[in-house]
Structure 1
Amino acid sequence: MSGFSVVLADDAVLFREAVAEVLRTAGFDIRAQVGDVAALHSAVERVRPDLAVVDIRLPPTHELEGLRAAVEIRRDHPDVGVLVLSQHVETRLVGMLVGESARGVGYLLKERVCGIGAFVDAARDVASGGCRLDPEIAWLLTRPGRADGRLARLSEREHQILSLIAEGRSNQAICERLVLTKKTVETHIRHILLRLDLRPEPADHRRVLAVLAYLGAQGRP
């Protein structure tokens, strides 16, 4: 049982109730459920939850209000984990969402969440200060030519590995996904950090934060 406190923001009541029930069953403490941006900001200010789960599109226009609100929550309440749910890939504000630290942030595509367990794990990870990005979002953040010349220095294999790092995967998970040896993956990661002008760190989580901090800063519109 996690015990993490949660604020949910989604104007689709049935979906919101379903997410609340899933998280409640997993041990989360659902402190507020809201359907618009104003109520979301009010609930976060009042509750100061461990996690805000936010749909990307909220009233009144159902465009990017939810994502903008998530960016603002990250800015104003850095101790609150923010997990954005979306039906579409939206890159315009993702760089700002990640910002200068990948702590406590997630962006998942609803249709690609592979099961209740995977969603609960992602929510728990973000509430704990981790990072969970949908693979497509991670790739868009790391694709060749997206930022300055530093990303262009990477090989195709290094882009693949950087994308997996951005998803929060461990070296072992990368080995299994790409069918590479541990030594080969470690060598690629050293090269990535050097080519991005990032000092290699011995701890995996610091390496992930450094890479995502750079990508987030470069991704600001």
Structure 2
Amino acid sequence: MPPSDPSRLRIVVADDSVLLREGLVRLFDEAGFETVGAFGDADSLLVRIAELQPDVAVLDVRMPPTFRDEGVRAAIRIRADHPSVAVLLLSQYVEGTYAQELLSAGNGGTGYLLKDRIASLEELKDAVTRVAEGGTVLDPQVVRELLVRRTDPLAALTPRETEVMQLMAEGRTNAGIAQRLTIGVGAVEKNVTAIFQKLGLEDSGDDHRRVLAVLASLQR
């Protein structure tokens, strides 16, 4: 449910950068929000969140210990265990996979913004308020990434898999691809298998998956 007093939202912040974390606290204070907790990692936030009872949790995507997806994992858990708490992810990069995972985990009350593209305090204040009210806030670049992933399965390929796909389209064998990319044939075979999986090309015994993969590339 939306907070009873949107003008005095209770915020918790999790970001491993001290400067960014303290900067967010000051910005939220200026915006009229109440920052009830600031943490350097997601686990510390999760331990205290029930006690602090925030309206919104603002988290960095990458935090200790692995600096991969701790913020996303915490956000998904918060939405599951504390559905009244909205979450706003902040990142330096467009990470479409993480955004898609978060959005698929709940209905509203979520946001994903790029730190470098937040132009003003008002913009940040508006984003926090909107997710607190149950809305969804996404940076336009994140939206474009999600649309590409939805409409183009080839967007899921890694740079190496894309190179292998292009050489497959040229009619090269695995041995020829290996020679061209200066990698082992076994590495090529792993990439080819990954391409088949990501394009949803099951080994039915009727269709030649290599041909289907190349057709998908040419129809892009």
TM-score by length of 2: 0.63
- Equivalence map 1:197-208=2 (5 Å): none
Instruction: Tell me the equivalent position of 1:171.
Output: none
Instruction: Tell me the equivalent position of 2:203.
Output: none
Instruction: Tell me the equivalent position of 1:6.
Output: 11
Q: Which amino acid aligns with 1:140?
A: E
Distance in 2 (CA, whole Å) between partners of 1:78 and 1:27 is 23
Identity %: 41
Instruction: Tell me the equivalent position of 1:51.
Output: 56
Instruction: Tell me the equivalent position of 1:155.
Output: none
Instruction: Tell me the equivalent position of 1:25.
Output: 30
Structure with higher Rg: it is: 2
Structure 2: segments with no counterpart, 5+ residues: 1-5, 154-220
| 1:141 is aligned to 2:146 | yes
Instruction: Tell me the equivalent position of 1:112.
Output: 117
Instruction: Tell me the equivalent position of 2:21.
Output: 16
In the superposition, relative to structure 1, how do residues 144 and 91 fare at CA in structure 2: closer, same or farther (>3 Å)?
Answer: closer
Question: In the TM superposition, what is the alpha-carbon distance from 1:77 to its structure 2 partner?
Answer: 1.4
Instruction: Tell me the equivalent position of 1:218.
Output: none
Distance in 2 (CA, whole Å) between partners of 1:129 and 1:147 is 30
- Determine helix, strand or coil for the equivalent of 1:42: helix
TM-score by length of 1: 0.62
| 1:35 is aligned to 2:57 | no
Distance in 1 (CA, whole Å) between partners of 2:94 and 2:78 is 20
Instruction: Tell me the equivalent position of 1:219.
Output: none
Q: Which amino acid aligns with 1:69?
A: A
In the superposition, relative to structure 1, how do residues 45 and 115 fare at CA in structure 2: closer, same or farther (>3 Å)?
Answer: same
| 1:130 is aligned to 2:135 | yes
In the superposition, relative to structure 1, how do residues 143 and 124 fare at CA in structure 2: closer, same or farther (>3 Å)?
Answer: same
- Determine helix, strand or coil for the equivalent of 1:92: helix
Question: In the TM superposition, what is the alpha-carbon distance from 1:145 to its structure 2 partner?
Answer: 4.7
In the superposition, relative to structure 1, how do residues 33 and 139 fare at CA in structure 2: closer, same or farther (>3 Å)?
Answer: same
Distance in 1 (CA, whole Å) between partners of 2:149 and 2:37 is 41
In the superposition, relative to structure 1, how do residues 47 and 134 fare at CA in structure 2: closer, same or farther (>3 Å)?
Answer: same
Distance in 2 (CA, whole Å) between partners of 1:117 and 1:43 is 28
- Determine helix, strand or coil for the equivalent of 1:2: helix
In the superposition, relative to structure 1, how do residues 145 and 117 fare at CA in structure 2: closer, same or farther (>3 Å)?
Answer: closer
- Equivalence map 1:54-73=2 (5 Å): 54-73=59-78
1:41, 1:69 within 8 Å by CA — same for their partners in 2? yes
1:74, 1:97 within 8 Å by CA — same for their partners in 2? no
Show CA shifts across 1:74-128 (max 9, x none): 1221111100000011122322211264411000001111212111111111112
Structure 1: segments with no counterpart, 5+ residues: 149-221
Task: Indicate the larger mover: 123-132 or 103-112.
Answer: 123-132
- Determine helix, strand or coil for the equivalent of 1:93: helix
1:7, 1:43 within 8 Å by CA — same for their partners in 2? no
